[in-house]
Structure 1
Amino acid sequence: MERLANNSIERIIKSTSYNKLLLLLFLTTTVTFAQTSYEDGKKYILGGLEVTGLQSYNEQTVKTYTGLRIGQPITIPGEEISAVIKKLWGLELFSDVSMYQTRVEGDKIFLELNILERPTLSKVTVYGVKKRKVDEIIDDTDLKKGKKITESLIANTKGYLENKYKKQGFLNAKVNIATAKDTTGTNTESMVVNVKKGDKVKIKSIVFEGNEKVKDKRLRKALGKAKIRKKKLGAFWQRSKYMEDEFKEGLKNVVDAYAEKGYRDARVLSDTFIKVDENNIALKIKVEEGNKYYFGNIDFVGNSVYTDRQLSQVLGIKKGDTYNGVLLKERIADNSKPDAVDITNQYQNNGYLFSQINPVEISAVNDTIDFEIRIIEGKETFLNHVTVVGNDKTNDHVIFRELRTRPGQKYSKDNIVRSVRELGQLGFFDAEQIVPDVENPDPNAGTVDIKYSLVESGSSQIELQGGYGGGGFIGTLGLSFSNFSLQNIFNGESYKPVPMGDGQTFALRLQASRTFRVYSLNFAEPWLGGRKPVRFNLSFSRTQQFSSQFTNQGQIDVDKDRGFSITGVTAGLAKRVQWPDDFFTISHSLGYQLYDFKNYNIGLFNFGNGTSNSLAYTFGLSRSSQGPSRIFPLTGSNFEITAKFTPPYSLISGKDFKSLKVRSDEITASANDGTPLTTAETNELQEIEEERFKWLEYYKIKFKGDWYTRLAGKLVLRTNAEFGFLGNYNNDIGDVPFERFFVGGDGLGNFTLDGRDVVQLRGYENSSLTSFSNNPITGRQEQDGGTIYNKFSLELRYPLTLKPSASIYALSFLEAGNSFDNFNEFNPFELKRSAGVGLRIFMPAFGLLGIDFGYGFDSDARPGSIGPSGWQTHFIIGQQF
């Protein structure tokens, strides 16, 4: 039997260590050479073709693929045989392809095609990586079962993995791949991939060459923006690992650092790293600085909507300023901020979506560069269709009423950004996944569509709120539905588990500790009437407060036979206004509380039995621009001023409150001298106090402000300031024993108990920074509550994850604050200080969960308290964001 392939072809094909490309190159060369002798080839009729060596392929399939047909003319040697071999080899399914002549009968020739199949991959085992990464590696390298094992597959897999880990900083990464016959299948082999990543290589030093105008420190800082830093002793928090992609980004930052200083021609000539040892490298960067340039004339061309002066004000660059290429790009179009102040946004916020702004250098004479800002304004653009998708629970009208983009309006990028914020503030959707898509732009018609893609998040909560402090646990159990639908309350089909989708709030709560119980019901409609953002709120509450006092051991002693109850109802309206801007809200509310006492001679309450009434109006002014998420705001602020007033009853009642106060002071002075009160004096004092506070009269001013500043990425600084003051109209009546400020602890229990405000100050026990006084009836030291307080906080926050299922962020804080008995004692610098760390987890079904560890540097106000408060643990459940 004679082999028809040229000997050189045979050797090449059988030499499986050759690269595929080299094989084809040699094969092509051989075929070309053979053409010189094809004229001497003999012509035959193909009498038969047999395929041998097959293990998994069908013989007829291979015959068909060769293109050879029985009865066709064929020249031996000739092009047909070479083409078949080349075609089969190109499939990469075979490791050897040979063609033989078996016999010749007259003008007929019979051939044999012998094939050696490549082995098939049966399974892959990967060592040296985490189990969860194995599937990712198999997918990326396409090492799937049934894949033909070729030299290129092994080489490509090895190269891909080594490059992958080198880009991640594992410069010493090595990958070894081995195959072995698998007897469980026909012509199959198993593969073992052994990955040895080694340690990430760190940067021991960074050396710059050629820089004279810009110092090494400034260039290293530019590299640091891309997280390329040299290793520093003790700086464990600072990454110093080498990452290829980040290093490339860092080199761009180096060029930008020069551009900011006027050196527009600066460039990196070379960058190399020198291997110091197995785990350390030294970076060497050579730069060419060029000359320093300045801005010359800056002319605007093509602008008709805005004058040159208006555009110059936005650009903020003047003739003679040092050339700053980075600043110029940002003032033309700052892509890092959706609401940036730049010329592109100036146009896009006024309807010119299709505008194009291009800065062009028109001359560079000596050290001065003249520019033309060439503007193609395009056609004024209007919104055609505005749609929302993804709102499976929330009704469309709840979403559309919050949007600042309506069909027929001018296109405004600022309105889109604001709409995204408003949707995020609703709390019904994942703020991180609100995507406004600009669709179907038509420059000729001047129209565009906007589609808001939303992802629903849980808007109902099983409210579990709790914290430990003040000697006991404070807890809340309730149901809160923030996307409730009152109109469907009688529609049984809408209960999933309750009627939802209209954006209303409905909450039932039970709050309790050893010293109090609160039952409340609250309903709120954010768009009363459905046309304007007027919020209506109605609430009912029932409170029981029990007598309590601190023992000498710092514990709380509770007497449930002595206490009082409060029954209250409050109705309010709040309207979003347009001036000074549309972030402002004005609110009004009217509330009535009935206080019923039962042998409750505690603190400032010197009448144990009877009733007291409070009818108060509250005016509020607030501005909320924080966003985009209400759970983890990145920017903006939130402040609120409230003023609460009661009518001045003493001016119209005709009662002699001065005489009542004089007599009350006489009895109290006797008790303070250590002389126990007689029964008659006790009864008289209680009658006087009941008469003084039959109808409460006071005014109460509060301020609270939060500012959110993004420091870097999603690292956010929250700055907080608070102030509160409780005053009276008539000194003969004095300050009411309600509505006071109790400072210290986790801030839980911020409820309408006796109108008190419970102010968070971590690092101290609950309400432990509020003064105590001697009760003339009981003779015991009891907590009064302050009439004035101030508080300041700095909180550094960083998110660990902001997924819809759970948002988690870590924080550290510095806090200081205090409460005072009256304005004369108020000292804004006499503060109780604390510091600590904490963690917050927000889950839609349960609200906010968290824990804080705070250290109080000062003593609290409890009798006998000395030395610092020390470490306190605060469990936060359902607390403010």
Structure 2
Amino acid sequence: MRKSAILVSLMLCLNMAAWAQSEAPKVVVTSFTVRSAQDLPDVRKTLREVMVRQLSELGLQAVESTEVVNSEGQARAVARGLNADYALYGSFNKIGNSISIDAKLVHTPGQKKTQVLFGQESGMENLVKAADTVSKDVAVFLLAKAVIADIQVKGNERIESAAIQLNVKSKVGEILSPEQVREDIRSIYKMGYFEKVEAEVTDTSKGKLLTFVVRENPTIQEVNIKGNKKVKEKDILAAIATKPYTVLEKNVINEDVQKILKLYQQKGYYNAQVATDITYPRDPRNAVVTFNIEEKGRIDIEEISFTGNEHFSDRKLRGVMQTKQKSMWLSWFTDRGILQKDILDTDVDRLTVYYHDRGFMDAKVGTPDVSFREDGIYIEIPVQEGERYRVKDVNITGGSAEDNEQLQEKLKVKEEDYFSREKLREDVQEISKAYMNQGYAYVEVNPDVKQDQAAHTTNIVYQVDRGNEVHIGTITISGNTKTRDKVIRREIDLAEGEKFSADKLEKSMTDLRKLDFFENVEIVPTEGASPEVMNLDVKVKEKFTGSVSVGGGYSSDDGLFVTGEVVQRNLFGKGQYLGVKGYLGQSAQRYVLSFTEPWLFDKPINAGFDVYNWVRDYPDFTKDSVGMRLRSGYAFGNWSMISGYYTFENAKISNVADDASSILKSQEGRTNLSAVTGILERDSTDHPFLPTKGSINVVSLQYASPYMGSDSDFLKSELESGWFFPLYWKLVGFVKGSAGWITESSSDPAPIYERFFLGGINTLRAFNWGEVGPQDENGEYIGGTTYSLANVELLFPLLEKMGMRGVLFFDAGNAYLGSNPFKFEDYRYDAGAGVRWNSPLGPLRVEWAYNLDRREGESSNKFQFSAGAFF
């Protein structure tokens, strides 16, 4: 259908061309008079040839005459001699850089009025453009019937006429060009929305009416996906461009087939096939598009092998790659064993870097040979190791001799070591940063590496060009529509007039981002008044810092719970925090009003207060408390914080059983707690929920005394240290130890709710909360005054892209009455496994623990579950 439409259109255009030639008058172009201060010998000839060509292209019969004409009579005489209907004569003028053509079009019989024409441009290079202006005016006058009076579009239903006309280059007021109309038809076809395009030309009193008649492709009423099991339908529909209620485009459908195949290849289904079926069940203008998928079996990487590797085994080199062989167990849960071309290409670079970092300076890793066989994919990677080079000599030149001597000791590239490009790069950064921290912002460090191929050694010289010492000029801040300049400036470690420091600039960026007040933060260095001065432009983009949120979840300790909060993290643009939070669970309810000033007296000291009401149901009693807390803290280093707070709390202990122990009964009623607490904390982990390295170390002391208005007299101290460290592959180990002591007076003991209750998802996971520790004479748990606990975990990725981990764990510990928390002979033990998922709705933990020393009346195992967060 499309070919026939084009044929009809071409015939139409040929008929138009024939009409134009049969009706066109004949024009003779004479030699123009040239007026110029310069000698322009070729202008007459050029102008004649250009205008004859232009007039012919516009549909006129044009001839030239070498005779210079100065009057209408001479022009008519030349025209009669050549049997022309019209004569074109005039002058070409050049004044300075300006050029102009002053022309007259003379009717040979003299029955029509002479037309005066004019074209002007700047520069001789625009001579053709000036002539084109005159030629078009001639054509418009002589071919009035061939001038386009209007352009219209017919037949379109969904595609706007304006959108179609954007692809049409024919213009109203111009001469109708068959060639241009033919090109316009092609451009409309290329839009992809039409199965037929034709052009119609009709005469009107004002000229030609050019109409493009189109027939649109059918509309897609429905898109079906059939045969898919391994890829979700919603993922396929999201990937393809074919959508309901859009125009059917077969080229788009073909592209969508490739997109679907790519989705399957990403999951290892390389033999998957996709066929398309386009039907018109109810209306020939409404199409149903069906993608029929035949998934076939998944093809995994069966083997990755190497050729040419002598120093490193295949297993060692496979460990460098992100592409992995199929695993009997892990391939069921992860994408291990799936071939992804872009990752394999990156692996070639990884292997090359691996060799270069171990002395093989000339090593080359070739293009992997990938073969698909019936039992799987086989990849063979060629390696040319070359010779291995050792470092013979390392020196630093330029800069300060004293600084270079100190830096020499810190270099990672050492004499007699194998050459390493990674260590070389790190040394360049170390040297650069050391000098930048001294104010040399534009320091350049160029490593000169010379190979001795005969001895297989290298000499390395780090050439330092310090440049000028740079001081900070002006610091300007822009983009902050709400946050005050002071709040931003106090996070910038560099001050005006101070020497430049790379470390301080980097820390300033980090601190500004940690505020979480801005969508984007940039600190852009710019040139100052002199090469020794650098200005800093701090550019920020504000984000919303107020929020209203609700959430919910379930935990083994508190059961079902719902939460809500109203928070403003940047109150009045001062960086202050104000929030109201509520927590309502089956076993606990808590309501808190909090305020924090992060810079007290413009010093990096935070201060604030909390007012709260907390109700919690313990196994043997209920605590209902109202209190307030005054707090302050100071962050130092990169990860450390020291903080302290004062707490005053009025608590009521109720719902104590009649047969409860004397300890519980003595706590019944209302009491006041007045205490001060100090905490020293260091947290260097790399993720709040799924860390892979770093540690959390906390020391806390809480002291309550009747001298402060407290009904109890005690000192409570706790130590906690947890360490994450990467192991083989992507395994992460975690070891945590914690212990606590309460020293109390016999007359005013610590409240029972301040004691240590072990058990639950965060301590000993084979027990419910509070089920580990001392019991009274009735077998009720009363908490310990000391405790010690050890947790060991092995974490491994399950669905890494989704933020899901598996965990194997072992717990050991107990709580005691007395001063010794390390009674290992009384420890309770459990072990188990679980899953942790950093889900879109918040952290989720599901863990099963087995009681390794089960006692009478205890369950052998326990499921622990925790989920839910603000969202």
TM-score normalised according to structure 2 size: 0.63
Distance 1:215 1:608, change over 3 A: closer
Does residue 231 of structure 1 match 2:347? no
- Give the Cα–Cα distance (whole angstroms) in 1 for the partners of residues 390 and 816 of structure 2: 59
1:405-804 to 2 correspondences below 5 Å? 411-415=500-504, 417-419=506-508, 421-422=510-511, 428=516, 435-436=521-522, 438=524, 440=526, 444=531, 445-453=533-541, 455-456=543-544, 461-462=549-550, 467-469=555-557, 473=559, 479=565, 481=567, 483=569, 485=571, 502-507=575-580, 521-527=592-598, 529-540=600-611, 549=620, 568-576=627-635, 578=636, 581=637, 583-592=639-648, 602=661, 604-605=663-664, 607=666, 615-626=674-685, 636-646=694-704, 696-707=712-723, 719-728=735-744, 739-746=754-761, 760-774=763-777, 780-794=778-792, 796=795
Alpha-carbon offset, residue 765 of structure 1:
0.7
1:825-844 to 2 correspondences below 5 Å? 826-828=822-824, 830-839=827-836
Amino acid at match of 2:341: E
In the alignment, which residue of structure 2 is the partner of 1:284?
A: 380
Does residue 872 of structure 1 match 2:870? no
From 356, 371, 378, the counterpart of 2:460: 371
Alpha-carbon offset, residue 725 of structure 1:
0.9
Matched residue SS, 1:311:
helix
Alpha-carbon offset, residue 786 of structure 1:
0.8
Alpha-carbon offset, residue 724 of structure 1:
0.7
Alpha-carbon offset, residue 204 of structure 1:
2.1
In the alignment, which residue of structure 2 is the partner of 1:263?
A: 360
- Give the Cα–Cα distance (whole angstroms) in 2 for the partners of residues 116 and 545 of structure 1: 78
- Give the Cα–Cα distance (whole angstroms) in 1 for the partners of residues 312 and 740 of structure 2: 52
Larger radius of gyration: 2
- Give the Cα–Cα distance (whole angstroms) in 1 for the partners of residues 492 and 376 of structure 2: 54
Does residue 204 of structure 1 match 2:302? yes
Deviations 1:754-774 (A, max 9, x none): xxxxxx443321101122022
Deviations 1:41-61 (A, max 9, x none): x9999999899xx998999x9
Amino acid at match of 1:449: D
The answer to whether the Cα contact below 8 Å between 2:440 and 2:467 also exists between their aligned partners in 1 is yes
Alpha-carbon RMSD across the aligned residues, in angstroms, is: 5.9
From 238, 241, 255, the counterpart of 2:338: 241
Amino acid at match of 1:789: Y
Matched residue SS, 2:776:
strand
- Give the Cα–Cα distance (whole angstroms) in 1 for the partners of residues 575 and 264 of structure 2: 51
Deviations 1:700-735 (A, max 9, x none): 2112234455779999766543221112477x9888
In the alignment, which residue of structure 2 is the partner of 1:297?
A: 393
Distance 1:418 1:714, change over 3 A: farther
Matched residue SS, 2:602:
coil
Highest relative contact order (Cα 8 Å, sep 6+), 1 or 2? Answer: 1
- Give the Cα–Cα distance (whole angstroms) in 2 for the partners of residues 203 and 798 of structure 1: 20
The answer to whether the Cα contact below 8 Å between 1:269 and 1:286 also exists between their aligned partners in 2 is yes
Deviations 1:837-865 (A, max 9, x none): 2456688xxx956453331424578xx43
Distance 1:173 1:356, change over 3 A: farther
In the alignment, which residue of structure 1 is the partner of 2:472?
A: 382
From 798, 814, 821, the counterpart of 1:818: 814
Distance 1:787 1:201, change over 3 A: same
- Give the Cα–Cα distance (whole angstroms) in 1 for the partners of residues 147 and 514 of structure 2: 75
Alpha-carbon offset, residue 271 of structure 1:
3.0
Alpha-carbon offset, residue 244 of structure 1:
1.4
| Structure 1 range deviating more: 791-800 or 304-313 | 791-800
Amino acid at match of 1:242: L
Distance 1:168 1:872, change over 3 A: closer
- Give the Cα–Cα distance (whole angstroms) in 2 for the partners of residues 269 and 545 of structure 1: 66
Distance 1:49 1:216, change over 3 A: same
Amino acid at match of 1:643: L
| Structure 1 range deviating more: 459-468 or 373-382 | 459-468
Matched residue SS, 1:282:
strand
The answer to whether the Cα contact below 8 Å between 1:303 and 1:375 also exists between their aligned partners in 2 is yes
Alpha-carbon offset, residue 267 of structure 1:
1.3
Amino acid at match of 2:784: G
Distance 1:708 1:799, change over 3 A: farther
Deviations 1:521-580 (A, max 9, x none): 55342336441133334445667788964xxxxxxxx7xxxx88766554343334x5xx
From 311, 331, 337, the counterpart of 2:407: 311
Distance 1:331 1:512, change over 3 A: same
Distance 1:597 1:322, change over 3 A: closer
Deviations 1:781-831 (A, max 9, x none): 3322111112233564879899xxxx9765636244321222347325724
The answer to whether the Cα contact below 8 Å between 1:425 and 1:630 also exists between their aligned partners in 2 is no
- Give the Cα–Cα distance (whole angstroms) in 1 for the partners of residues 477 and 261 of structure 2: 47
Number of aligned positions between the proteins: 697
Deviations 1:102-132 (A, max 9, x none): xxxxxxxxxxxx9999986555787769466
Does residue 852 of structure 1 match 2:846? yes
- Give the Cα–Cα distance (whole angstroms) in 1 for the partners of residues 783 and 390 of structure 2: 64
Matched residue SS, 1:721:
strand
In the alignment, which residue of structure 1 is the partner of 2:29?
A: none
Alpha-carbon offset, residue 409 of structure 1:
5.2
Deviations 1:403-453 (A, max 9, x none): 545665555554455455545655x559xx665454656794533434345
TM-score normalised according to structure 1 size: 0.62
- Give the Cα–Cα distance (whole angstroms) in 1 for the partners of residues 575 and 682 of structure 2: 24
Alpha-carbon offset, residue 876 of structure 1:
4.6
Distance 1:744 1:399, change over 3 A: farther
Deviations 1:448-472 (A, max 9, x none): 4343456446655557676444xx8
Deviations 1:616-662 (A, max 9, x none): 433332234455x756667654432112234599xxxxxxxxxxxxx
**5+ residue gaps, structure 2:** 1-9, 14-60, 64-83, 85-141, 156-160, 199-209, 226-230
- Give the Cα–Cα distance (whole angstroms) in 2 for the partners of residues 746 and 569 of structure 1: 28
Distance 1:69 1:794, change over 3 A: same
1:32-181 to 2 correspondences below 5 Å? 130=233, 133=236, 136-138=239-241, 171-172=270-271
Matched residue SS, 2:418:
coil
Deviations 1:272-298 (A, max 9, x none): 222313x73322222222111112223
**5+ residue gaps, structure 1:** 1-9, 14-41, 71-79, 99-113, 334-341, 486-498, 550-557, 650-692, 748-759, 775-779
Amino acid at match of 2:325: K
Alpha-carbon offset, residue 742 of structure 1:
0.6
Matched residue SS, 1:724:
strand
The answer to whether the Cα contact below 8 Å between 2:759 and 2:767 also exists between their aligned partners in 1 is yes
1:174-193 to 2 correspondences below 5 Å? none
Distance 1:466 1:175, change over 3 A: closer
